[in-house]
């Protein structure tokens, strides 16, 4: 029987909520650059869960720690402005979903890098927490980003996908910067699970598209009032849109691998056109199909898989775990991407660098100029994480029970002071 934490996490939640408003908005660097690291299908599991699809010699020492190690190395190499986890962050049968989520996102939290997350079809499959409960918890953790939330709109109250659907605005450089564009908007759209599917397989909902159109219209009006052009938009989903299935390795703009059949959300062919028209979407990034990491084009929109990062998820020994790097240059006027794949020596290999879109010849020429991943020390940003101390004692397992009441109270007080969340409840 599981003991539920109830409102034991409320003091830390209040502390974290109070600091959210103080975080600086995301913006392009002084050079007009913004880098996103996409982590798809991490499938972080309980201790002892075996790795799948790895060489036999590696299987005995392999665990979810290999996954988080890959993400940490990628953060050091790519130095992202934002990490986007695109769902199936934990194993379906994780006994403590909050603790598993914390471990999945810890590489970004510990590096003090802003991050955000979607839920996949497996994240709530274990039945220990609903999607609304999961999103409420993880969105209170340090560094989580969401500029506009569908769940705050009264018209969409109670919609099962609203809690995991939101937008992030990336502001351009300081007004008047030479060569600056109009910024970037990221749409994060919950594609649901068996618990939210109205009929058949999980997919997006029409209500989500209505919300995207409303937010996009507001942003377009604001940009027009300032004499700006259309803002570049990217969309992130867990399950691929149907058009991913139409992309062929024979296509001129195809790069990467398609080593399994595409498993798209069903019967939603109109969604891509509507996202492009209403939301200004120029590229869509997906997860879900672990052996696919290709980029292609359909209906004038670039479509890219992230490739699975999870060692405890299904895979193949000859297909490395990998993450995707997305670089926006010239304040969003040029978008390029490449993958960082785990190598046998715990290094990273750069694969398939390409320019997805560009209206800037100079930035296009430099967008794929042989990126060289290194391992610099992440740079703390005191403006974003005021008084956040990663070395604060954070127990490896959740704190619960009368026997440790005093220690728990002390840690919660320290967490409230340092803006750090202590995850979960102990199983009884």
Which residues have C-beta within 8 Å of that of residue 84, sequence separation ≥ 6? 36, 37, 38, 39, 115, 116, 117, 118, 186, 188, 236, 285
Q: Are residues 359 and 421 in the same domain?
A: no
pLDDT digits (tens, 9 = 90+) for 371-407: 555 443 344 443 444 333 333 333 333 333 333 344 4
Q: Are residues 17 and 36 in the same domain?
A: no
Total domain count, the chain: 2
Cβ–Cβ under 8 Å, residues 318 and 97: no
Distance CA 380, CA 403 (A): 37
Question: β-strand 281-286 against 232-237: which pairing, if any?
Answer: parallel
Q: Are residues 288 and 332 in the same domain?
A: yes
Q: Which of 325, 345, 371 finishes a domain? A: 371
pLDDT higher than 90, residue 143: yes
Residue 232 structure tokens: 């570049």
Distance CA 29, CA 82 (A): 12
Q: Is residue 381 part of a domain?
A: no
Q: Is residue 380 part of a domain?
A: no
Q: Read off the DSSP letter of residue 325.
A: E
The predicted structure's pLDDT at residue 54: 93
Q: Are residues 50 and 177 in the same domain?
A: yes
Q: Are residues 160 and 235 in the same domain?
A: yes
The pTM for the full model equals 0.79
- For residue 284, give its domain range: 25-371
Query: 415 or 390: which carries more pLDDT confidence?
Result: 415
Q: Which of 371, 394, 414 finishes a domain? A: 371
Q: Are residues 315 and 408 in the same domain?
A: no
The predicted structure's pLDDT at residue 274: 84
Q: Is residue 127 part of a domain?
A: yes
Q: Are residues 241 and 279 in the same domain?
A: yes
Distance CA 160, CA 123 (A): 14
Which residues have C-beta within 8 Å of that of residue 58, sequence separation ≥ 6? 51
Q: Is residue 376 part of a domain?
A: no
pLDDT digits (tens, 9 = 90+) for 311-338: 999 999 999 999 999 999 877 889 999 9
- Domain with 213 in it: what CATH number? 3.60.21.10
Burial class (CB in 10 A: 0-12, 13-18, 19+), 403: exposed
Q: Is residue 379 part of a domain?
A: no
Q: Is residue 391 part of a domain?
A: yes
Q: Read off the DSSP letter of residue 120.
A: -
Q: Is residue 35 part of a domain?
A: yes
Distance CA 172, CA 33 (A): 9
The predicted structure's pLDDT at residue 382: 37
Q: Are residues 137 and 154 in the same domain?
A: yes
Mean pLDDT of the chain: 77
pLDDT digits (tens, 9 = 90+) for 240-299: 999 999 998 999 899 999 999 999 887 778 889 888 887 889 999 999 999 999 999 999
Q: Which of 342, 371, 400 finishes a domain? A: 371
Q: Are residues 238 and 367 in the same domain?
A: yes
Q: Are residues 350 and 233 in the same domain?
A: yes
The predicted structure's pLDDT at residue 30: 87
Model confidence at 199, pLDDT cuts 50, 70, 90, reads very low
Q: Are residues 96 and 209 in the same domain?
A: yes
Q: Is residue 377 part of a domain?
A: no
pLDDT higher than 50, residue 366: yes
Mean pLDDT of 88-111: 94
Q: Which of 367, 295, 299 is nearest to 334 (CA)?
A: 367
Q: Are residues 237 and 172 in the same domain?
A: yes
């Amino acid at each position: 029987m599981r003991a539920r934490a109830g409102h034991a996490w409320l003091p830390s939640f209040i502390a974290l909520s109070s600091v959210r408003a103080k975080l600086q908005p995301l913006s392009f660097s002084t050079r007009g650059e913004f880098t996103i690291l996409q982590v798809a299908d991490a499938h972080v599991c309980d201790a002892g869960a075996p790795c799948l699809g790895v060489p036999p010699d590696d299987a005995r020492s392999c665990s979810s720690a290999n996954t988080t190690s890959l993400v940490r190395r990628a953060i050091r190499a790519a130095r992202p402005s934002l990490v986007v986890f695109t769902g199936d962050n934990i194993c379906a049968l994780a006994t403590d979903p909050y603790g598993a989520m914390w471990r999945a996102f810890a590489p970004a939290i510990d590096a003090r890098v802003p991050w955000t997350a979607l839920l996949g079809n497996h994240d709530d499959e274990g039945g220990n927490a609903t999607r609304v409960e999961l999103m409420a918890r993880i969105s209170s953790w340090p560094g989580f980003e969401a500029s506009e939330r569908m769940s705050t709109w009264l018209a969409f109250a109670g919609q099962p996908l609203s809690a995991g659907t939101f937008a992030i605005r990336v502001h351009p450089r300081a007004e008047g910067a030479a060569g600056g564009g109009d910024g970037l908007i990221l749409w994060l759209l919950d594609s649901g699970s068996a618990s939210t599917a109205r009929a058949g397989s999980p997919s997006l909902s029409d209500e989500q598209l209505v919300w995207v159109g409303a937010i996009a219209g507001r942003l377009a009006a604001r940009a027009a009032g300032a004499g700006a052009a259309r803002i570049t938009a990217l969309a992130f989903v867990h399950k691929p849109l149907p058009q991913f299935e139409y992309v062929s390795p024979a296509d001129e703009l195809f790069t990467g691998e398609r080593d399994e059949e595409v498993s798209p959300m069903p019967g939603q062919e109109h969604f891509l056109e509507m996202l492009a028209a209403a939301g200004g979407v120029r590229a869509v990034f997906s997860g879900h199909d672990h052996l696919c990491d290709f980029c292609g084009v359909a209906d004038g929109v670039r479509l890219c898989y992230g490739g699975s990062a999870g060692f405890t998820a299904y895979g193949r020994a000859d297909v490395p775990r990998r993450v995707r790097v997305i670089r926006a240059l010239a304040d969003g006027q040029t978008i390029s991407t490449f993958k960082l794949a785990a190598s046998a020596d715990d290094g990273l290999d750069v694969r398939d660098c390409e320019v997805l879109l560009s209206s800037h010849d100079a930035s296009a020429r430099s967008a794929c100029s042989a990126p060289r991943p290194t391992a610099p020390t992440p740079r703390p940003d005191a403006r974003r994480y005021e008084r956040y101390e990663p070395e604060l004692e954070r127990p490896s397992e959740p704190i619960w029970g009368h026997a440790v009441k005093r220690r728990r109270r002390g840690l919660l007080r320290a967490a409230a002071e340092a803006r750090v969340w202590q995850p979960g409840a102990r199983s009884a």
